[in-house]
Amino acid sequence: MDFSKEYSEEFDNLAKNRVKVSYHKYGSAEENFGKGYVQAIPSLLRCIEKYKETGNTEYLVDGRNYLMFEFMYPQHPKAHFRATESNESAGIVGLSVNEAKRFMEG
């Protein structure tokens, strides 16, 4: 299966390049997020608002990096990773193609 329509290498490359630039601009992620100088989740929420306001996808790339920094240097007191089953999913907004097909067949 060709996953080029399912995953964006360009998105990853843009994000990596911005991390490199940010290191020189703001200092290390380990210090900024690991020591709590910068809060990843509120910064992410700002990116989402700017994207909604402007449509500039650069904010999505920046937001991806804030998610990664929260993963690497979690500030949430209960932060952990546990793979979940479908019934524990946060869910989606809308109806997926596969759900629509099952609905039409049923």
DSSP labels, 52-85: HHH--THHHHHHHHHHHHHHHS--STT-------
What are the backbone angles phi and psi of residue 100, rounded to the nearest 5°? -65, -40
Q: What is the mean pLDDT of residues 71-82?
A: 97
Give the pLDDT score at 2: 82
Give this prediction's pTM: 0.90
Give the pLDDT score at 4: 86
Query: Is the backbone of residue 84 left (phi > 0), alpha (psi -120 to 50) or beta?
Result: beta
- Under the banding of pLDDT at 50, 70 and 90, the label for residue 88 is very high
- Under the banding of pLDDT at 50, 70 and 90, the label for residue 103 is confident
Confidence check: pLDDT of 106 > 80? no
Q: What is the mean pLDDT of residues 27-54?
A: 98
Confidence check: pLDDT of 74 > 80? yes
Residue spans per domain, the chain: 7-76
